[in-house]
Amino acid sequence: MNTWVHALLKPEPVALMVLLVLLGSLIQGMKRGASGSARRLFFFIWQAAAVILSLLLAGRVAKWLSPLLKNRLIQSGIEVPQEQLGAWKQLWYTLVTSLRDFELLRLGVLFLISYLLLRMLLGWLEPLCGLLFQTLANSREDRGEGSEKLLSKTASRTTGAAIGTLLGAGRAFVIIAFLFVYVTVIPGGPLTESIRASAFYNKTADELLDPVAGDVLRRGPVFTEAVGVEFRRVLQRKYEVIDANVPEDIGQAAAAVTSKAKTDKDKARALYDWVGSRIAYDWDKADNYEQHGIWKEQTPVDTFNTRLGVCIDVARLYAVMGRSAGLEVRVVTGQGATGSGYGPHAWNEVRLADQGGIWIPLDATWASSGDWFNPDGFSRTHIRET
């Protein structure tokens, strides 16, 4: 016990947060008195039990419903129409086909819906349980001629403070459990080093949490990566639905993408938005080159068909589509800012013939991180080769 107290009294953020929770709960308990604190503790335990029960049941329900929903969607024969779709139809076909084809998304959606319904159901029972608790408490007070009448105000506050401290310990445990999940699932996230440096956190995690949940949560980073992959697949499906009527030929696709553009800048911007959102960065190709020196050469047609590529592939595809749409485009190579320095990079420059022939820079590879269509200060992050 002394080691727990010693760890808690060390001046560091996690211990300070726990102390504040305990102190706040103690003060609340003193104000509420014995009966008010007991009622608060009852609802805290009820809500915690409701969350745990809902999570367990939602997992089972989602696992049971997932194959049934998949088969139902397959039997429905839903296919994306090869035509221009409105926003609501795009959303509908993206959702339905993604639920049909992506298991992790399907499980996640069913789990979330099941959990919310179960929590709603248990939420309806909460007032009834609270009423039952109050009835029992009043009955005990009547039999004892009222505990608040017999006990002095000081005794009631002391009892309330003790119950409040117990409630605070429960709240503190929930906080530590949340931090444990966060550090385990996202080991490189913000503040993880500060959390791991806490003696109180380490003692709680090592002795109480890790023996129970450690094996499950150590698979957290793998699950997080799987969620990231699934999200990218859903995002790609979204663009597949939007582009259902875009021709498979690069030249025809460029014409379709720029069909509503009136100026060269409008054309360049439309192609930037399309290429920047449709082509996913090929991390496997980049890692294979950086770690093993193996380079996978690909043509703009390969990039267009696979919707994957690194910066040079994106820049080459943009150039081909831009020229097909009547623009003068060049591929520029050099160094791009990485956050810790500069590394090899490629981007584009487009000539706006209807604006005096000026050249503007753009970087479709970086489109997902911001607007890199001729922004101010482009040259500070992009250094072209001489």
pLDDT in tens, the chain (386 residues): 556 556 656 667 777 877 787 787 777 767 766 666 666 666 667 777 777 788 788 888 888 999 999 999 899 888 877 666 677 887 888 888 888 888 878 888 888 888 889 888 887 876 776 666 566 555 555 554 444 444 456 666 676 677 667 767 777 777 777 777 677 656 666 777 777 777 777 777 676 666 655 554 555 555 556 666 666 677 667 756 765 666 778 889 999 999 999 999 999 999 999 999 889 899 889 888 888 888 888 989 999 998 899 999 999 999 999 999 999 999 999 999 887 788 899 999 999 999 999 999 999 999 988 899 999 989 999 998 86
Report the domain count for the chain: 2
Sign of the alpha-carbon torsion through 197, 199, 204, 210: positive
Q: Are residues 282 and 378 in the same domain?
A: yes
Same domain assignment for residues 36 and 172: yes
User: What does the pLDDT read at residue 317?
Assistant: 94
Count other Cβ atoms within 10 Å, centred on residue 21.
Answer: 19
214 and 133 share a domain? yes
Separation CA 249–CA 241 (nearest Å): 17
Q: What is the pLDDT of residue 148?
A: 47
263 domain-assigned: yes
Long-range contacts of 240-245 (CB under 8 A, 24+ apart): 240/80, 241/80, 241/85, 241/90, 241/93, 241/94, 241/97, 242/85, 242/90, 243/278, 244/80, 244/81, 244/82, 244/83, 244/85, 245/82, 245/83, 245/84, 245/85
HSE-CB at 131 with a 13 A cutoff on CA atoms is 5
pTM above 0.75, yes or no: no
Report pLDDT for 215: 54
In a domain, 88, yes or no: yes
Say if residue 143 is in the same domain as residue 25: yes
Whether 305 is covered by a domain: the verdict is yes
Residues 174 and 270 in one domain: no
Q: What angle do CA 236, 362, 244 make, to 5 degrees?
A: 25
Q: Which domain-ending residue is among 223, 255, 290?
A: 223
Query: Which domain CATH number covers 276?
Result: 3.10.620.30
pLDDT of residue 197: 78
Backbone φ and ψ of 11, nearest 5°: -75, 85
**Predicted local distance difference test score (pLDDT) of residue 111:** 85
**Are 206 and 316 part of one and the same domain?**
no
Residue 64: the pLDDT is 92
Find how far residue 292's CA is from the centre of its chain: 31
Residue 241 inside a domain? The answer is: no
Instruction: Determine, yes or no, domain membership for 229.
Output: no
Which pLDDT value is given to residue 331?
Answer: 93
Whether 129 and 6 map to the same domain: the answer is yes
68 within some domain: yes
Rounded (10°) CA dihedral 181, 187, 188, 191: 50
Whole-number pLDDT of residue 40:
67
Cα torsion angle, 252, 257, 260, 264, sign: negative
CA–CA separation, 186 vs 174, rounded Å? Answer: 18
Cβ atoms of 362 and 272 within 8 Å: the answer is: yes
**Where does a domain end: 223, 256, 283?**
223
Domain of residue 169, residue span? 2-223
| Structure confidence at residue 341 (pLDDT) | 84
pLDDT at 145: 46
Biggest distance spanned by C-alpha atoms of the chain:
95
Residues 184 and 293 in one domain: no
Domain assignment present for residue 233? The answer is no
For residue 283, tell me if it sits in a domain. Answer: yes
Domain-ending residue, one of 184, 208, 223: 223
8 shares a domain with 107 = yes
Residues 183 and 307 in one domain: no
232: which residues sit within 8 A by CB, 6+ positions away? 280
| The three-state (H, E, C) secondary structure of the chain, written as one string | CHHHHHHHCCCCHHHHHHHHHHHHHHHHHHHHHHHHHHHHHHHHHHHHHHHHHHHHHHHHHHHHHHHHHHHHHHHHCCCCCCCCCCHHHHHHHHHHHHHHHCHHHHHHHHHHHHHHHHHHHHHHHHHHHHHHHHHHHHHHHHHCCCHHHHCCHHHHHHHHHHHHHHHHHHHHHHHHHHHHHHHHHCCCCCCHHHHHCCHHHHHHHHHHHHHHHHHHHCCHHHHHHHHHHHHHHHHHHHHHHHCCCCCCCHHHHHHHHCCCCCCHHHHHHHHHHHHHHHCEECHHHHHHHHHHCCCCCCCHHHHHHHCEECHHHHHHHHHHHHHHCCCEEEEEEEEEECCCCEEEEEEEEEEEHHHCCEEEEECHHHHHHCCCECCCCHHHHEEECC
Residues 49 and 193 in one domain: yes
Question: Are 370 and 281 part of one and the same domain?
Answer: yes
